[in-house]
Amino acid sequence: MEGVEKSAFRFWWVLWVLVICMLRSGGGLVVGQEAGDGGDVVVPAMFVFGDSLIDNGNNNDLTSFAKANYFPYGIDFNGGPTGRFSNGYTMVDEIAELLGLPLIPAYSEASNSGDQMLHGVNFASAASGILDITGRNFVGRIPFNQQIDNFENSLDRITDNSGATDVAQMLSRSIFFVGMGSNDYLNNYLMPNYPTRNEYNGQQFADLLSHEYTTQLTKLYNLGARKFVLAGIGMMGCIPSILAQGTTGKCSEDVNKLVLPFNANMRNMIDNLSTNLPGSKFVFIDVHNMFQDILSNARSYGFRVLNRGCCGIGRNRGQITCLPFQTPCPNRNEYLFWDAFHPTEAVNVLMGKKAFSGTPDVVYPINIQQLANI
């Protein structure tokens, strides 16, 4: 019996040592594999910054007109109306799943618990922009500068849980997803009560945004970010809200052309930042090309309604966006747009997959999967 007991002791001792070694070498990966949806965890965390396209509830407790925490938002989402401006998943929800991560919690929910921040935090806020003044018509919103401040504040809680050295390593391997700029046009430049259009032409405004954007991304780099994914602006002239302002029912070419200089600047910006910030890697999601492909090949993707929202009121269901307890369309997977401004879950999932493993015509210079594996 004594020999058996010694053998058993050696077995459990060796097993314990192996577990400790795995925990030390794997860090957050071990936790991530338990928390994800069954896929291999490629990165320890994802931190998300942006606007309503990827907000998942940060505006819920704000005094704001930009909210989506009511039915029928979330009608196809397991958690119901969480504050996502969609019937279901956002693009970053799909990307998180493909990375093997759990869905990333909103800062408003996770800020009181370092444990909830282990796999990342979503700081995005509806109506927010690169410029602080963007979206003021909606009253409460969290501009990109404040989102960065919130990230900096969250580092203290994450560090308390993991230690400074481990956090620095974790941040360097994590994905930092930023989707900004749409509101700087929709809820600033194109708004009649803003002076912006009288102060800048299209190229000058794009240059102003790019200059500020560069400063903001550099601050994130100085806080530890190394792997950046930046989403460009899509074909804004084709959203129901803009279609409803016209009389032809066709996309506004003026609006589509207006945002092109911003997207062009972004490509130059990430090339410059990659050169000037040692150890950084930048990926640009060309949402414009991605959306153009979806429009051109809509039927092959299963989409049949391209010019109006699934939930909304007025011309193109885009004059008033989705109201509380309004009955949405039943065939949501056939619609490009969920409401006056935002895509359906079907489009978000498709775009997330294209960003994750797509080719350089839609995600440049490498895709998210390749970035994660660096």
- Is 40 assigned a catalytic role? no
Q: Out of 93, 241, 339, 357, which one is annotated catalytic?
A: 339
- Are 345 and 332 spatial neighbours (Cβ–Cβ below 8 Å)? yes
95: left (phi over 0), alpha (psi -120 to 50) or beta: alpha
* The residue type at 104: I
* The residue type at 210: S
- Is 339 assigned a catalytic role? yes
- Are 224 and 168 spatial neighbours (Cβ–Cβ below 8 Å)? yes
Residue listed under structure tokens 């291999």: 40
- Is 342 assigned a catalytic role? yes
Pick from 296, 300, 315, 309: nearest CA to 335: 309
Q: Out of 119, 128, 342, 361, which one is annotated catalytic?
A: 342
DSSP per residue, 16-41 = HHHHHHHHHHHTHHHHHHHHSSSSPP
Q: Out of 25, 40, 52, 119, which one is annotated catalytic?
A: 52
- Are 170 and 27 spatial neighbours (Cβ–Cβ below 8 Å)? yes
292: three-class secondary structure by DSSP? helix
Pick from 294, 299, 297, 296: nearest CA to 343: 294
Alpha carbons 128 and 59: distance in angstroms, whole number: 10
- Are 364 and 370 spatial neighbours (Cβ–Cβ below 8 Å)? no
Alpha carbons 344 and 337: distance in angstroms, whole number: 5
Alpha carbons 43 and 45: distance in angstroms, whole number: 6
Pick from 146, 147, 169, 168: nearest CA to 47: 147
367: three-class secondary structure by DSSP? coil
* The residue type at 226: R
Residue listed under structure tokens 């620095």: 168
Residues catalogued as catalytic:
52, 339, 342
